[in-house]
Structure 1
Amino acid sequence: MRTDTVYKKAFNRTATMLRDGQLAGELPSENELRRRMCVSRTTVRKVLRELVHRELITERDGLRATGRAVGDYDYYPDVETTSRAKHVEQQFMEWMLRGDTKPGTSINELELARQFGVATNGIREFLIRFSRFGLIEKRPNTGWLFKGFTEDFALELFEIRVMFELRSAQLFSRQPDSSPLWDKLAALKIAHIELLARIESRFHDFSGLDNRFHRLINEASPNRFIDDFYDIISFIFHYHYQWNKQDEEQRNHAAILEHLAYIDALESRDPERIERACRAHLASARATLMRSLIGLDE
């Protein structure tokens, strides 16, 4: 299952590179594609075979070139490209975001398992993992309780976030031109521009894009402890503050513009410009979070 997921994610990434023009004309070697996608040669070859089968690329005399245009229907659906744990996390975050879930809300494992289409042990593993942060509490014989968080908790968490991200942003700017992170950043830039053009109807989608963007920045300084910490960052900064629905569209519109300025700064590789853009965006996120906490106390 895991190998299939890796392949489908790699296929989707390659399809996006074709659609966005990152791959045009004659394709690079298998080794170069493997480097860009950060997968094995076996996976690259499987992706290429399927691309040829679907006529998205052509193959003649050992040379591969772009074929027909990529359509939305060519992509594997998200549910097939995420691990079970990630699927549960995404579904849970969407449940918290789309519903008006508040601190004190009871969480029923069985109900969530049915709603998300997964086994109850998958839900339980997720809740146990998050319970160590003190945001979710197991109540004997009554299921789980979402407790929310205090202003002090949020401020302490934010302080660590700024430290991690400033470091990662500077390391990102020092990546060599050959790093696959630059291709990922370019693709995210396009995704931001597309969402901005449809912000009136798709402003809820910013949370997922926000999460992808900040996780990409932290890929420049891979660290298991930072990765673990970012689980709780996702929960709070990308979902929790959005319980305050007031001006959500306007806030997300402004955040997209900040992201685009941040991306431009990263591409400039200017350390001072990067720090200004990073601090400006994180200051806005902090202000939004603090306003949401005030709203929850009213």
Structure 2
Amino acid sequence: MRTNTVHKRAYNQCLAVLAARPLGPWCTSEAELSDALEVSRTTVRGVLAGLAAAGLIGTEGARRHLLRHPVPGDYFPGLETETVAEAVERKFMQWVLQGDCRPGQMVNTSELARLFGVSTTAVREYLTRFSQFGLLKRRENSGWIFAGVTPDFAAEIYEIREMFELRSARRFVELAPDSPAWAELASIEREHHALLSEIDARYQDFSRLDERLHRLIHDASRNRFIRDFYDVISIIFHYHYQWDKSDEKERNRVALMEHLDYIAALRSRDLRLIDLRCRAHLRTARATLLRSIAGGPLGGAPARLHGPDAEAAEAHLPAG
């Protein structure tokens, strides 16, 4: 199953690359694809065979040609490309919201494993990663307590997130023009426009798109600590602040517009503009989080940031 997941992920990544290429000769070698997709050559050969069977590429001797661009039906569904760890992460985040999880609530690994359809080991490994950040607290009897997010905790996380994302964004623009990351960025940009055109009916679809964009940027850091930390960022910013549903459609529309500005800045490779767009978007995300915490199960007044961006950040906090 693990091999199958790797194949499907690599296949989807390759489709994203082909979507950004013109029809005609495709001279990328197996070795180059292996490096770009971070998989073995055996997996690359399987991907190429699948592309040929789907009529996407053809061969003429040793040469390959792109015969048509991929369409949505060519991609494997996202759930089929998840690793076990990613599946646990997604299901835990959904459980935090849909299960009405509140600070102080007991978290039972055996029950979660049964609910998620995975091993207790997979759940335990996932929960252990969060315990070091204070989101979960271990009990002596091996159980866990969901600690929740306080305004001070959110302010600290924001400062780290800003540092990590700015660093990752700078690394992103250093990627080669033919990197699969640029093709994935183009795909994400198209999905942003599609979602904006149907925002009234699909505004709740923003969550997954938001995660795809920010995870893509963080992955460009090629830093395992930054990549791992995004899991904590995701559950706090991307899911926890959704306790407040009062203006979800409007704030998702605003975030989509900010994303498009951010993507345009990345394409420009202008570091000053990237810095500006990134900080502006993260300030909005922080304001939403703090407002939701203030009106959520913990309540309390928003915490203040420290440093040169403190005033600008506070200026973006919604009234009340």
Name the TM-score, length of structure 2 as normaliser: 0.83
Is the contact made by 1:30 and 1:44 (CA closer than 8 Å) also made in structure 2? no
Q: By how many angstroms is 1:184 displaced?
A: 2.4
Is the contact made by 2:58 and 2:66 (CA closer than 8 Å) also made in structure 1? yes
Is the contact made by 2:23 and 2:68 (CA closer than 8 Å) also made in structure 1? no
Q: By how many angstroms is 1:104 displaced?
A: 2.9
- Is 1:22 aligned to 2:49, yes or no? no
Is the contact made by 2:23 and 2:67 (CA closer than 8 Å) also made in structure 1? no
Q: What are the superposed Cα offsets for residues 209-232 of structure 1, whole Å, 9 maximum, x if unpaired?
A: 222212222233222222232221
Larger deviation, residues 87-96 vs 117-126: 117-126
Partner in structure 1 of residue 227 of structure 2 = 227
Residue 59 of structure 1 aligns to a residue whose secondary structure is strand
Is the contact made by 2:169 and 2:217 (CA closer than 8 Å) also made in structure 1? yes
Residue 194 of structure 1 aligns to a residue whose secondary structure is helix
Question: Which amino acid in the other structure matches residue 268 of structure 2?
Answer: S
Partner in structure 1 of residue 314 of structure 2 = none
- Shift of the 226–264 alpha-carbon distance from structure 1 to 2, 3 Å rule, reads same
Give distance in 1, aligned partners of 2:62 and 2:171.
38
Is the contact made by 1:265 and 1:277 (CA closer than 8 Å) also made in structure 2? yes
Partner in structure 2 of residue 128 of structure 1 = 128
Give distance in 1, aligned partners of 2:20 and 2:155.
42
Q: What does 1:43-192 align with in structure 2 at a 5 Å threshold?
A: 43-67=43-67, 70=70, 72-140=72-140, 143-192=143-192
Is the contact made by 1:181 and 1:216 (CA closer than 8 Å) also made in structure 2? yes
Q: By how many angstroms is 1:281 displaced?
A: 0.5
Q: By how many angstroms is 1:35 displaced?
A: 4.7
Is the contact made by 1:57 and 1:67 (CA closer than 8 Å) also made in structure 2? yes
Give distance in 2, aligned partners of 1:124 and 1:245.
30
Give distance in 2, aligned partners of 1:273 and 1:69.
32
Is the contact made by 2:20 and 2:183 (CA closer than 8 Å) also made in structure 1? no
Give distance in 1, aligned partners of 2:203 and 2:67.
34
Q: By how many angstroms is 1:235 displaced?
A: 1.4
Q: By how many angstroms is 1:233 displaced?
A: 0.9
- Shift of the 97–295 alpha-carbon distance from structure 1 to 2, 3 Å rule, reads same
Question: Which amino acid in the other structure matches residue 24 of structure 1?
Answer: L
Give distance in 1, aligned partners of 2:243 and 2:75.
32
Q: What are the superposed Cα offsets for residues 48-85 of structure 1, whole Å, 9 maximum, x if unpaired?
A: 11222233333344443344664544433333322111
Q: By how many angstroms is 1:267 displaced?
A: 0.8
Q: By how many angstroms is 1:257 displaced?
A: 0.7
Give distance in 2, aligned partners of 1:76 and 1:283.
34
- Is 1:241 aligned to 2:241, yes or no? yes
Partner in structure 1 of residue 309 of structure 2 = none
Q: What does 1:256-271 align with in structure 2 at a 5 Å threshold?
A: 256-271=256-271
Q: By how many angstroms is 1:249 displaced?
A: 1.3
Give distance in 2, aligned partners of 1:93 and 1:250.
22
Residue 103 of structure 1 aligns to a residue whose secondary structure is coil
Is the contact made by 2:165 and 2:218 (CA closer than 8 Å) also made in structure 1? yes
Q: By how many angstroms is 1:255 displaced?
A: 0.5
Is the contact made by 1:5 and 1:81 (CA closer than 8 Å) also made in structure 2? yes
Give distance in 2, aligned partners of 1:71 and 1:164.
34
Q: What are the superposed Cα offsets for residues 122-175 of structure 1, whole Å, 9 maximum, x if unpaired?
A: 222222222222212234559432121221111111111112222222232333
Q: What are the superposed Cα offsets for residues 179-215 of structure 1, whole Å, 9 maximum, x if unpaired?
A: 3332222222122222222323332332222222122
Over the aligned positions, Cα root-mean-square deviation in angstroms equals 2.5
Give distance in 2, aligned partners of 1:273 and 1:72.
32
Give distance in 1, aligned partners of 2:211 and 2:225.
17
Give distance in 1, aligned partners of 2:259 and 2:99.
26
Q: Name the % identity.
A: 51
Question: Which amino acid in the other structure matches residue 4 of structure 2?
Answer: D
Give distance in 2, aligned partners of 1:179 and 1:52.
21
Is the contact made by 1:97 and 1:243 (CA closer than 8 Å) also made in structure 2? yes
Q: What are the superposed Cα offsets for residues 234-280 of structure 1, whole Å, 9 maximum, x if unpaired?
A: 11111111111121111111111101100101111112211110111
Is the contact made by 1:102 and 1:243 (CA closer than 8 Å) also made in structure 2? no
- Shift of the 260–51 alpha-carbon distance from structure 1 to 2, 3 Å rule, reads same
Unaligned stretches of 5+ residues in structure 1: none
Question: Which amino acid in the other structure matches residue 145 of structure 2?
Answer: L
Partner in structure 1 of residue 304 of structure 2 = none
Question: Which amino acid in the other structure matches residue 57 of structure 1?
Answer: I
